Structure 1
């Protein structure tokens, strides 16, 4: 009997079926050990020796593997086919050697690029040894990330209170986002005009032509810069005669894009499907590991962490056969297509992401996949098969037109195209914007018949005003594309890097665009001023090249670490000499548009508006950065940095009244304090206050929302088993449920106001189950779907699920209990939508009904006291009582389990 070690338990089960009774397949569940998160885990003074730590769960799994290996004939290490997979195999083998269970047993490394029976059996028949240089590259990368993170982050904590962390790739990626924001802030919009003519042929067909020259001058996009100039040209064209100077029909070929790599899949899934990078990888992982089809678990796509664009020869041949069978012989090119990547530093060690079987069309497997899995597989299949299809033949027609009016001459151009042969577009229709356009010219629709030298009639002249726009903010997709172009990071790191930036609060996502938070910009400005080299794009890319050279066996990994550490350690030591005043001066200058935006009255934005003589400056306090006056303590003016970079716009200029509480009769007001905007009921020391949670802005507040906040914690109902009240509130770790002295985290602030009893009981039960199973204090899972009904009219899946206390319908964050006795499998889409609509109407997101006066009074002593663990929103303090504004505890990030 041979032991095979893979990463995933799902893969273990499938591969064990393929290999049969002579093998025992066990899962490592990913990495089995890592560097402890403390000083001394990597020791440069001891030739970069490392200490590895095994957690309890991994120790148990390693013991199981060791027991199996003791009784085995040999060991096959079959972790994922990338650098991380190679490292996991090395770690497992190292631990087994220390346990002295290997002896003289043969140990081999195998990689499964696809989880199909043929791919698995072929890989087992062609084993190899562990790739030493690839492991060395992993060790170098892991050591570098540790040395940067555990030496640079403490500098941030000492010099920039409130900063969370810095990292080798993370900080450079953040700089990209911040640099783009600076470009946007410095951008000066310019006016320009576009002029076009609607013309008619002698055959009464109309078409549009654009102005390209006037009075002997070629015109570019921004050549006409004001209304007077546009009006003059429009007037000339209104009275002009039009003649077709020339017609040119030119054949153009469009070639398909290569199959997906990790980054291009993440980009396409973001733009086409709205997936985040991490969601794309989650779904792709499941498609790679396999779905049960025809009674057998089969992987649908090849390994999804790769920067290679080539396919295996047998896959290309299979694709060509599938193209011929599904589209016809015309769609099969004479020769197979070969691709090479344009990405900087690409290793191309693995195949591109492709279907494992091109005859397995998306429609043929649709019933076995959920909606997200189907959509991603559909994308991979179309891109993969299109990559080996014939080029599209397009005829592009260009008409050059002359306009004359009393000696003045202008030129217009009309461009249109016709697809003569669709080629690969037949398979890849929905992704037309991703198709490579070799012409680089802008196209219109198809033109009518136009003949050279014929006269045209003018129907209308249109002059439209436009303004140049700043470069767009990065989305996850475009940031990944930029990182790949610069050679920053690797396919396996893109998703985790973006997740880190979000988790640290350095960037926020609004309408799928990445917006740097003020603390993210401050960290970037600090690093750019005092650690310039380590956030340079070229330096980071060159370090990636060295790591690639290590994996190729061309460089010694410890030599690379020595070269890096010598200069980096020197830079760290120099920061000890930095004075806080020097840092603040540098930040004030680098971030002036963020910290001191121009004022509408034209006055100096650095002058304090309260005392009139002090100078505003960045201040660094225990809870982060804020703006303060240089005349402190005589002048107590301070303000927080706004999240959107528009200084003061998110603050409350003055107290805003929302009327009176319908129960107590006290005034409800919106105010601004040192902890940011907050709502208050009544006056004096006993007034109830609540800070606005993260994501809530003053301009969107009203009486109903204010009352909802002030009436927290909110009683949801009695637990059906314990009979004790379940309440929801917002504490220092974010939104929570409280029951019988125990807490369970909620996902969003809106859940606090909308969650019903059924779901609340389920969340509490999931939390208890996680703890009982050793899953930590905060984890929980969502019940599996009993039935998928399809998409809601407003988007998002509707499913029927089984909670601990009965079945319910789920859509987004809305859960609606099924009527008593209703069979979950018999629920129709119409019934589900009706239940969801009814449930949502009872508790609209972000709002909550005010509890009865009696009930509120009775609950105030017990519920609020019990909620002391996740502290309620801190009362805003006056400027005279504190030097720096603290982050409102009510808006703190939810503590992760």
Structure 2
């Protein structure tokens, strides 16, 4: 008997919905998009290959008609869907309710060509009630959303396929440019430039420990004024060093350590007295419930999740029916959600923790579409995390708890309290000459202290938000103006101004959101692309731009400035929104973007600029000048960055960050490149050397060049000039036995490899975060690490450069292919032998494999 066919995107979502719908429906997934533009030249049908536009996959001369193909890996699924459709009496397209989901539904209709009734079924949470409501009130396909998604896809294809070849010719092969990716890379580079130009300033102030004479509670107070002149704080200094002109005009005094020490002595025995006490009410309202960007930011801060990890976990929670749709820029909660939130709060904390009426939030971000609710627990009754212990665990439970707490907190009462500020004066007890000021005995200095007392915790009972740096939570004693205080110590506090912090994934998402660049669904993929393409790497939580990113951004800024202009990128999002709402047509906009009107479009701009681009200029990053006026630069070559002074060059290690590369360190790299061998001492009577080979620095036990001698590569933080005998002995002792796993009986080893530090347990491997962990990780920590899923970060990218063939000069790369890992020099591919871990492959091994493969090919041809 025919049944309705329901098609969703993912198998997990299909299984969850099938449980709600029961046997009366057939539920199947499309496994994402079933059609897309060609990914490579081999995907282009023979009938289109002769067309001049075929490389783009878009017929720009025929109203930008896209050339859609069904990828090989999707053909079986399409065949399955067509077979199911033959036995169906109705078709429900239940893909997500956004541009991407609408586009998937449209492609399904275009490919399946159903002749039965079609319904568009939409919901933002997978619950019994939501599914029933979606079945009862289906809609038709929204062609405006489809047009907007198709326009975005075509726009991104034109941008990437026209501009990326420019980067290949002028910077290096395999690079990419993108509508959102390139401005995001520019953000990272601009911040790093600020750090490179930054000059720190040092200053000091005083911190006094005081107590009221009638009670013994101590509190802290900071020096704020010296004889009426304000003492400098960090914000008073320029990024390039020294006091800002405005601070100088205001008479701000910058204390050095010596002056501060003299001032401490001049305050010995001084009479500290309260001059003013001020109390102000403290009130803090909760933040809005999560949308996509704030969820990524908070999960990054609290859980140390990357953006992609957050979205992957949230996707699973949504598809399993635990949370609402996770790609949204809305902070709105439905009436039913508000009712449930207030019920849970009242039951758990009492009605006193509820505001008089539900809180209503509105998005403050640019281009907010607010098509969905905020991200919240789903269902009629929000289950607490402790009630889900048997259903959720690990990442899923941690993220669900974060969402559950944030949603409830958003509907709870404000945090109430009192902020007390106390001003204290004291006279200096002797004459004093400071660098910037002369003080006479009796001149007064001022200290200040503040404290906060919470009288009603409100939403802090469930969700403790980050305390601002300027919020002092110390509790002050009850004091009044004129009251004497006892001084129990004065300490000099030294400060150094810090450069602007690098972006983390969380702060980059926030910056993109504030500028209107990208959409909630794209933030994670933007960051993944920056990492995978080598435009950035992670140092702890920070995103560090590579020198390749500097070269690419320099090229884009000089020759395609508007394409990386933040306002221009945000305007593109506005245009796509206008197409999605039906206010604008897609084809005229694409025509203007590509061909231009009065000004040049993208096509002509690329043709004009290509001949003008100075490749040497865009690939040169100035570092500074030597004492005799010679310029030191970093150049980005086809095989990576290197430092250059006159005709001397030296490759740069991957671990060097652009802001750390000074003239002095650049000269050290140049000198190091000339050092080939340095004796370190002896181990058990055998000489140990630090050597620089064609593959980098290493230590060696024994003299000579025999391949039988034991060697070990240096850590990124080590150099041939600096490595010690003790460090060499530790390196040569690797791999280190961490211990035996009592459950498996297998010994765990920690060692260093081409991709960084890692551990082995039999044939299993796990990465370590830092090389030092090779020597410090305990057996218990190692066992816990093996319980975690294998990490697939930037260091596990599908393409990793091993080095350069010293004979032919070709770049040797390790790649992950359809049939397993292999190495290639661009001409010949060689698969890794069975049992060889990709993490352990060296350049020497790769060259041996390639030479063997070349010999075999030559024999076969002969």
What is the TM-score of this pair, normalised by structure 2? Answer: 0.76
Q: 1:561 aligns with which of 562, 587, 590?
A: 590
Equivalent residue for 2:401?
378
Equivalent residue for 1:849?
none
Cα–Cα, structure 1 residues 695 and 277, in superposed 2: closer, same or farther, change >3 Å? farther
Equivalent residue for 1:424?
459
Residue 507 of structure 1 pairs with residue 518 of structure 2: no
Residue 49 of structure 1 pairs with residue 65 of structure 2: yes
Cα–Cα, structure 1 residues 229 and 642, in superposed 2: closer, same or farther, change >3 Å? same
Q: 2:334 aligns with which of 312, 325, 348?
A: 312
Cα–Cα, structure 1 residues 628 and 432, in superposed 2: closer, same or farther, change >3 Å? closer
Equivalent residue for 2:604?
570
Equivalent residue for 1:69?
85
CA apart distance, 1:875: 6.4
Q: Deviations over 1:383-422 (max 9, x none)?
A: 0000001111111111222323444223322211111111
Q: What secondary structure is seen at the aligned counterpart in 2 of 1:478?
A: helix
Equivalent residue for 1:332?
354
Cα–Cα, structure 1 residues 605 and 339, in superposed 2: closer, same or farther, change >3 Å? farther
Equivalent residue for 2:807?
none
Separation in structure 1 between the aligned mates of residue 497 and residue 78 of structure 2, nearest angstrom: 60
Q: What secondary structure is seen at the aligned counterpart in 2 of 1:334?
A: coil
Q: 1:472 aligns with which of 501, 514, 527?
A: 501
Separation in structure 2 between the aligned mates of residue 326 and residue 388 of structure 1, nearest angstrom: 13
Which ranges of structure 2 fall in alignment gaps of 5 or more residues? 41-54, 235-251, 429-440, 736-749, 767-776, 792-830, 852-862
Separation in structure 2 between the aligned mates of residue 617 and residue 57 of structure 1, nearest angstrom: 43
CA apart distance, 1:704: 5.8
CA apart distance, 1:460: 2.0
- State the aligned residue count: 718
Q: What secondary structure is seen at the aligned counterpart in 2 of 1:369?
A: coil
Equivalent residue for 1:655?
676
Equivalent residue for 2:471?
442
Equivalent residue for 2:51?
none
Residue 212 of structure 1 pairs with residue 212 of structure 2: no
What is the TM-score of this pair, normalised by structure 1? Answer: 0.73
Which ranges of structure 1 fall in alignment gaps of 5 or more residues? 291-298, 608-615, 632-636, 712-727, 736-747, 764-790, 800-808, 815-862, 877-885, 891-897
Separation in structure 2 between the aligned mates of residue 14 and residue 201 of structure 1, nearest angstrom: 65
Q: Deviations over 1:732-777 (max 9, x none)?
A: xx97xxxxxxxxxxxx5545xx4344548xx9xxxxxxxxxxxxxx
Q: 1:192 aligns with which of 199, 203, 211?
A: 203
Alignment of structure 1 residues 276-287 onto 2, 5 Å: 276-287=306-317
Q: What secondary structure is seen at the aligned counterpart in 2 of 1:73?
A: strand
Q: What secondary structure is seen at the aligned counterpart in 1 of 2:397?
A: helix
CA apart distance, 1:118: 1.3
1:690–1:874 Cα contact (<8 Å) kept: no
Equivalent residue for 2:9?
7
Alignment of structure 1 residues 674-685 onto 2, 5 Å: 676-677=696-697, 683=704
Equivalent residue for 1:89?
105
Residue 171 of structure 1 pairs with residue 182 of structure 2: yes
Equivalent residue for 2:148?
137
Q: Deviations over 1:811-852 (max 9, x none)?
A: 6779xxxxxxxxxxxxxxxxxxxxxxxxxxxxxxxxxxxxxx
1:238–1:461 Cα contact (<8 Å) kept: no
CA apart distance, 1:810: 4.0
1:161–1:625 Cα contact (<8 Å) kept: no
Q: Deviations over 1:691-730 (max 9, x none)?
A: 9599675467954676589x9xxxxxxxxxxxxxxxx999
CA apart distance, 1:432: 3.7
Cα–Cα, structure 1 residues 669 and 68, in superposed 2: closer, same or farther, change >3 Å? same
2:751–2:757 Cα contact (<8 Å) kept: no
1:195–1:464 Cα contact (<8 Å) kept: yes
Q: What secondary structure is seen at the aligned counterpart in 2 of 1:353?
A: coil
Q: What secondary structure is seen at the aligned counterpart in 1 of 2:389?
A: helix
Cα–Cα, structure 1 residues 235 and 663, in superposed 2: closer, same or farther, change >3 Å? closer
Q: 1:160 aligns with which of 171, 186, 191?
A: 171
CA apart distance, 1:624: 4.4
Alignment of structure 1 residues 503-652 onto 2, 5 Å: 503-565=532-594, 566=596, 567-578=601-612, 582-588=614-620, 591-593=621-623, 597=624, 602-606=627-631, 618=635, 620-621=637-638, 623-627=639-643, 637-643=648-654, 644=656, 645=658, 646=661, 647=666, 652=672
Moved more, 307-316 or 392-401: 392-401
1:642–1:648 Cα contact (<8 Å) kept: no
1:425–1:432 Cα contact (<8 Å) kept: no
Q: What secondary structure is seen at the aligned counterpart in 2 of 1:525?
A: helix
Q: What secondary structure is seen at the aligned counterpart in 1 of 2:388?
A: helix
CA RMSD of the aligned region, Å? 3.7
CA apart distance, 1:379: 0.5
Cα–Cα, structure 1 residues 758 and 536, in superposed 2: closer, same or farther, change >3 Å? closer
2:124–2:324 Cα contact (<8 Å) kept: yes
Q: What secondary structure is seen at the aligned counterpart in 1 of 2:5?
A: strand
Alignment of structure 1 residues 447-846 onto 2, 5 Å: 447-565=476-594, 566=596, 567-578=601-612, 582-588=614-620, 591-593=621-623, 597=624, 602-606=627-631, 618=635, 620-621=637-638, 623-627=639-643, 637-643=648-654, 644=656, 645=658, 646=661, 647=666, 652-653=672-673, 654-657=675-678, 669-673=690-694, 676-677=696-697, 683=704, 697-698=718-719, 702-703=727-728, 749-751=756-758, 754-757=759-762, 759=764, 798=784, 810=787
